[in-house]
Structure 1
Amino acid sequence: MKRILIVAATEKEAGILLNAGGGFEKEDHKIDTLVTGVGSMNTSWSLLKWFSVNEKPDLAINIGIAGSFKKDIATGDVVIAVSDCFADAGVESGRAFLTLAEAGLEDADGFPFRSGKII
């Protein structure tokens, strides 16, 4: 039986999956749902806890808005990120927010980055 883990930041994003009980079987698939909380730290911590007590899934799918509020992407649209950045990791400098690379704390082209983005 294939194991699938579906990860969402909020209960609203997980919606119908939670209404189905959060974990269920469909044909030859066992599907689990994990609600992590918003942000990379909450996601990392929740996944660490989940993996410490559950068998490794064959596939993990992250669902939700992924922090995007673009009006041209409707609820239910399927998208694939082609680049990403850690927009919440940085330092405040006066009234400005600097990325770690802009603050000189990280190489903008060091793995896994290219010009400050994960490609």
Structure 2
Amino acid sequence: MIEIGKLNKLTNYHLIIAATNLEVSNLTRINQTIQQPNTPYFKISENIDCIITGIGQYNTVKAITHHISLYGKPTSMINIGIAGAYDNKLKLTSLVKVEKDIAYDQIVINNSLIQNWQEAGLPNSSSNIFTPIKTSYDNEIVLKYKTALTSDTISNDPLRINAIGKKYNPDIETMEGAAFFYTANEFDIPSIQIRAISNYVGETDKSLWKIKESIVELNRFVNQEVLTKLK
């Protein structure tokens, strides 16, 4: 667990995290985006901040850590954004909560055998599956729980997709979620991850994706069903 000592400058505030400006384009806000060094952010209300981390796991860890170093630990953190679905029963633009998130890049591939670092016996390694510390309002966010997989690699290789499915059986894929849960847990912060399904994993025809529509639905839900729960 990371301790930040006397750096706490705000009390009882909540932090929303998104990878891109587009994914929060319709959120309620009381000011415009502030281009602070490294991490753009804006205030949704007096007690809710929103930061734009950039895409990927490293950017996510850096941005959250930087914000906490400046403003102190939030009461809770909420990661929102789009996701690709492995499960074709998940409808495009539908919303889910993430129950656990798998850091797929932390693996060893030996011929066709896939192992995480711990399974492969790498020293000082731990599980690559992250579950959040639940927020006090988790049960009030009425969405189905799903398993996510996080990877910084974008691929439509059917062999890779099939291997992932066989090993972990994920429902959705993102590029930040596992890093978000990891960082929240290291700071001992309750967290929740909400994703809108914008496409199916492996689909290369982007005309079939529904990014804009997914973000509209995501932001509508967050404005109406999440922000109202943050006290």
- Superposition map of 1:56-71 within 5 A: 56-65=73-82, 68-70=83-85
Change (3 A) 1:61 1:12: same
Give 1:13-92 correspondences, 5 Å limit.
13-17=23-27, 21=32, 22-25=42-45, 30-65=47-82, 68-70=83-85, 72-75=90-93, 77=95, 79-91=96-108
Note the aligned Cα RMSD (angstroms): 3.4
The superposition leaves residues 75-105 of structure 1 with CA deviations (integer Å, 9 ceiling, x where unpaired) of 362x222222111233566798764245432
Q: Which has the higher contact order (CA 8 A, sep 6+)?
A: 2
Deviation digits for residues 25-77 of structure 1, max 9, x if unmatched?
Answer: 2xxx5221101112221111111111111132222111112xx3015254362
CA–CA distance in structure 2, aligned partners of residues 60 and 103 of structure 1: 32
Which of 111, 115, 130 matches 1:118? 130
Is structure 2 residue 12 aligned with structure 1 residue 12?
no
> How many Å separate the matches in 2 of 1:35 and 1:101?
32
Alignment TM-score, normalising by the size of structure 1: 0.65
Is the 1:18–1:33 contact (alpha carbons within 8 Å) kept by the matching residues of 2? no
SS, match of residue 38 in structure 1: coil
Stretches of structure 2 that go unaligned for 5 or more consecutive residues are 1-10, 33-41, 132-231
Normalization by structure 2: what TM-score? Answer: 0.38
C-alpha displacement at 1:118, in angstroms? Answer: 3.4
Identity fraction in percent: 29
Aligned residue identity for 1:69:
G
Aligned residues: 108
Residue type matched to 1:117 in 2?
A: I
Equivalence for 2:137: none
After superposition, the Cα gap between the structure-2 partners of 1:107 and 1:5, relative to the gap in structure 1 and judged at 3 Å, is: same
Q: Which has the higher helix share?
A: 2
Aligned partners of 1:3 and 1:57 also within 8 Å: yes
Kept in 1: contact 2:29–2:44 (CA 8 A): no
- CA offsets per residue over residues 8-31 of structure 1, 9 Å max, x none? 111111222387532132xxx522
